Copies of this chain bind each other. A is one copy, B any other.
Amino acid sequence: MKVLVADDHAMFADGIQLILESEKDLEIVGKCYDGKSVINFISNHKIDIILLDVNLPDINGVEVCKEILKIQPDLKVIAITMFNEESFIEEILNNGAKGYILKNTGRDELLKAIRTVAKGESYFSKEVTESIMKSLMNKRKAGSKTINELPKISRREKEVLKLIIEEFTTQEIADTLYISLKTVESHRASLLSKLNARNTAGLVRIALENKLLDGVKIEN
Contact = CB atoms under 8 A, between A and B. Distances in A.
Interface of A is mostly: helix
Interface stretch (A16-24, A45-53, A201-209): A201-209
A18 B124 CA distance: 36
Q: How many copies does the complex hold?
A: 2
Interface stretch (A26-34, A161-169, A177-185): A161-169
Nearest to A140: B94
A137 B167 contact: no
Contacts of A122: 133-134, 137
Interface stretch (A5-13, A110-118, A192-200): A192-200
Contacts of A197: 167
A153 interface: no
B201 A164 contact: yes
Contact of A124 (B133, B169, B203): B133
Nearest to A139: B94
Contact of A169 (B89, B95, B132, B199): B199
A140 to B, nearest CB: 4
Contact of A202 (B93, B139, B140, B167): B167
Interface of A: 89-90, 93-95, 97, 122, 124, 129, 132-134, 136-137, 139-140, 164-167, 169, 197-205, 208-209
Given A97-B137, A201-B203, 16 more contacts: A93-B137, A122-B133, A122-B134, A124-B133, A132-B133, A132-B136, A164-B201, A165-B201, A165-B205, A166-B201, A167-B199, A167-B201, A167-B205, A201-B201, A204-B204, A204-B205
